[in-house]
Amino acid sequence: MNNSKAENERLFKKRIKELSKIKGWGTELISLYIPPEKNLAEVTNYLKREYSQASNIKDKITNKNVRACIKTIMQRLKTINKPPKNGLAIFCGAIPTSNSRGTEKIEIFLIEPIMPIKAFIYRCGGSFFLEPLEKMVLPKEIYGFIVIDREKAVIGLIKDVYVQLLGKYTSGAPGKHSKGGQSQQRFNRLREKIILEYFRRVGEHATSFFRGTPNLKGIIIGGPGFAKQDFLRADALPSDLENKVVGLIDIGYGGEEGVRELVSKVGEVLSGLVIVKEKKLVQDFFKKVVEEPNLVTYGFNNVFEALRREAVATLLLSENLSLHRVKLTCRTCGYIDEKILNGKEINEIVTKGVPCPKCNSPLYIEEEKDLFEELIEEAGKHNAEVFIVSAETEEGKQFASAFNGVGALLKYPLT
């Protein structure tokens, strides 16, 4: 599969986000980090000792669940010869299926990190310990921006595909004076003094924010007219930050209204920025839906069929896609059904039950597969590029709501 490093990182980030949502009772979620050079026999021996110590847990349900999790991890380790090149992160927990204690389900998740694990870690808690993985997906492309005119300004950061506002400011300068003579001259001098102080105040805040941002690659300044140049001429930024200014962008507004326009035009300066690539790709998808509908497809079944026919050039998936292919069976009459459900619907089946349409006995979930993973797996079989669309951008939100987060750009029309 022709996934870029950036796309692999975003997929990795999605998995971390999903794990972060899982909460357990007490200390029944186990996080295990195994460095690449670690001997798995040593890991197993360590887990055996933890299994023995867990027998001292006073709460009977917690005792049972923790020991079951440790046993599940040890059984899985038997199927692995050695850790992958970056090591292995294992998360296993007794995950509640309802609000009632004692209905927990033991689940295990294995993740191969995108960077090497540096230390062996074993930890129990009410949530999975994800900090070592989260540090691996800190934003790689960070640019500061200042959107400014003579009345208002906004300072913020562009982190990969995310826009973060850090501060909003106003000049407090009065409107232009229309009368002539010395009165107007004094008024204009006073107004320019207020604006100069405002520029420098914005610069002080920007300096504080940007110097506190590790790995800042550059600064973009946007605004209408000559406000951008006037801001720089006011020596509002110290020389080290002024040297980081990579572009001045003309936009129609200052302040918060201009941030969206700045982001839409940032490609004029930073064509390689991830947010620029995403906007272009998703906008191209939207355009083809209207103008060349035979060169796009959307919806899980249509996209899956296009992948099988090797017609997909680029698979687009929303990072918030949370659908599962679920196989339901009746253990009384043998009825089988397959549905595509979201997490809430699955939880309702588990907690409340669904009657069999033939005999009214309860249906059970026999198989469950994440469609996000299934689509990526299918894309890999047919050498299709995968692009994971952020849920934070304007285009990403529209893609998720209008197309349920699944779409594809096609190589050729499907007949």
pLDDT for the residue numbered 135: 84
What is the C-alpha separation between 212 and 201, in angstroms, rounded? 17
Radius of gyration of the chain (CA): 28
Which of 81, 112, 137 is the last residue before a domain boundary?
Answer: 137
Say if residue 293 is in the same domain as residue 337. yes
The total number of structural domains in the chain stands at 3
Q: Where in the sequence is the domain holding 414, given as residue range(s)?
A: 274-415
The 3 state secondary structure assigned to 133-202 is: HHHHHCCCCEEEEEEECCCEEEEEEEECCEEEEEEEEECCCCCCCCCCHHHHHHHHHHHHHHHHHHHHHH
Say if residue 168 is in the same domain as residue 119. no
**Which residues make beta-bridge pairs with 341?**
324
Say if residue 252 is in the same domain as residue 292. no
| Structure-model confidence comparison of residues 127 and 274, the more confident one | 127
Nearest C-alpha neighbor of 33 from the set 107, 104, 109: 109
**Residue 220 Cα distances to 87, 212, 227, 257, 387, angstroms:** 39, 17, 13, 16, 26
Express as a percent the part of the chain with pLDDT over 70. Answer: 93
Q: Is residue 94 part of a domain?
A: yes
Tokens for 365, please give them: 């979930």
**pTM above threshold 0.85:** no
311: CATH: 3.30.1330.30
Q: Is residue 1 part of a domain?
A: no
Highest-scoring range by mean pLDDT, 155-169, 222-236, 252-266, 366-380: 222-236
Say if residue 290 is in the same domain as residue 414. yes
pLDDT band at 1 (very low <50, low <70, confident <90, very high): very low
Which of 229, 249, 272 is the last residue before a domain boundary?
Answer: 272
106: CATH: 3.30.960.10
Q: Is residue 14 part of a domain?
A: no
**Residue 170 Cα distances to 15, 71, 193, 195, 361, angstroms:** 41, 61, 14, 10, 66
Main-chain dihedrals φ then ψ at residue 209, nearest 5 degrees = -70, -50
Provide the CA 283 distance to its chain's centre, in angstroms. Answer: 19
pLDDT higher than 50, residue 2: no
Q: Is residue 154 part of a domain?
A: yes
pLDDT higher than 60, residue 4: no
Say if residue 278 is in the same domain as residue 386. yes
Main-chain dihedrals φ then ψ at residue 79, nearest 5 degrees = -90, 0
Say if residue 117 is in the same domain as residue 245. no
**Residue 382 Cα distances to 10, 300, 371, angstroms:** 21, 16, 17
pLDDT in tens, 43-69: 999 999 999 999 998 999 999 999 999
Q: Is residue 6 part of a domain?
A: no
pLDDT in tens, 5-14: 666 777 888 8
Express as a percent the part of the chain with pLDDT over 90. Answer: 52
pLDDT higher than 50, residue 370: yes
Nearest-5° angle of CA 245, CA 160, CA 258?
60
pLDDT in tens, 152-198: 999 999 887 678 899 999 988 776 655 555 567 777 788 889 999 99
Tokens for 276, please give them: 């620029």
Which of 246, 272, 298 is the last residue before a domain boundary?
Answer: 272
173: CATH: 3.30.420.60
pLDDT for the residue numbered 174: 76
pLDDT in tens, 189-224: 888 899 999 999 999 999 999 998 888 889 999 999
Main-chain dihedrals φ then ψ at residue 88, nearest 5 degrees = -145, 135
pLDDT for the residue numbered 280: 84
Q: Is residue 27 part of a domain?
A: yes
